[in-house]
Structure 1
Amino acid sequence: MDLKEFLNLSAGKWFSQRTNYFVGGEADNSKADITIELVNPEDIKAVELCKKHNLDPQLSLGGTIQSWDNSVDWGKPKQVGSATVVLVSNSDDDTKGKLIRPQDSKVCGHYVLGADEALTLTIKTDEMQAEERQWFASDNLRMRTTVVKFHDGRKQTSFYSEIRKAPPANNE
């Protein structure tokens, strides 16, 4: 599987369950509805992001807009939001490259699509460093793990299982 196939397979509506653990703290779990939309490499958002970061738009592989709504998780505070990510390949290898987001003033991370077809995203900010690994157990079951290391010494780990929601039946 190449990166474009990986992104295409990620697109859709998902039901997500997360277990979260702060090292030295307690475990927590939550549920959310997630929608992943594709950003095409030629999309004006992707082109402008590349130019903003002095990267060649011709190397853009596109990206995703991921939206979440955890209102399905009864008893938890509602959280709704979205994040846009664009991937820009290295000139000689599209399995590796840079990760850019609209809110960042500099390139915020890197990606690697491994031979095992798992995508690893590494993001660095002034407050933390995060590594997220994503892979598919099947076309409709996606797994993710994250390890976040905060610069103040705290550490957070998470595991996500995401099940694709079937499209609504067409009752015409």
Structure 2
Amino acid sequence: MTGPVTIRPMTASDWPAVEAIYRAGIATGNATFEAEPPSWEHFHAGKLYAGRLVATDDTGTVLGWVAASPVSTREVYRGVVEHSVYVSPAAAGQGIGRQLVDAFISAAEGVGIWTIQSSIFPENAASLTLHNHAGFRRIGTRERIALMTYGPWAGQWRDTTLIERRSAAHES
């Protein structure tokens, strides 16, 4: 990585880099149940605009991304989202994930999101540590929630750790 990091809204022109980072995460077998990244059109349609961010270095290289989807279309859940954050393997361990998560939290709270959730594989210690430091709490384990269809865990039932962060403005 060179120079300072900029966090900015994701655009369609970022998709090739975002997709490559997503694909690298998928290859680990510990990032998602998805076997392939979606198309830009599918990604764009399913993610909220607020908090859809990329981190770039001073050359414009995308180092990581964060985005969220609503957990439900029901009105009572309008402030609850499930987010994902991915960092390029070349930028891992440099604080990019934390910068993205912090910027995402700020953007989400700015549009009235009061609960941010995610499901993380227990083997993804870096993500669990990142989220712990960002104020997320572990809600529980979803045991054998889905059957892995690809990679090193193919054919195995996987657990996920459910985490969440509640906005202090909505705590009572």
Same fold (TM over 0.5): no
Scaled by the length of structure 1, the TM-score of the pair is 0.33
Query: Which structure has more helix as a fraction of its residues?
Result: 2
The structure number with the bigger radius of gyration is 1
Q: If each structure's strand is expressed as a fraction of its own residues, which one has the higher value?
A: 1
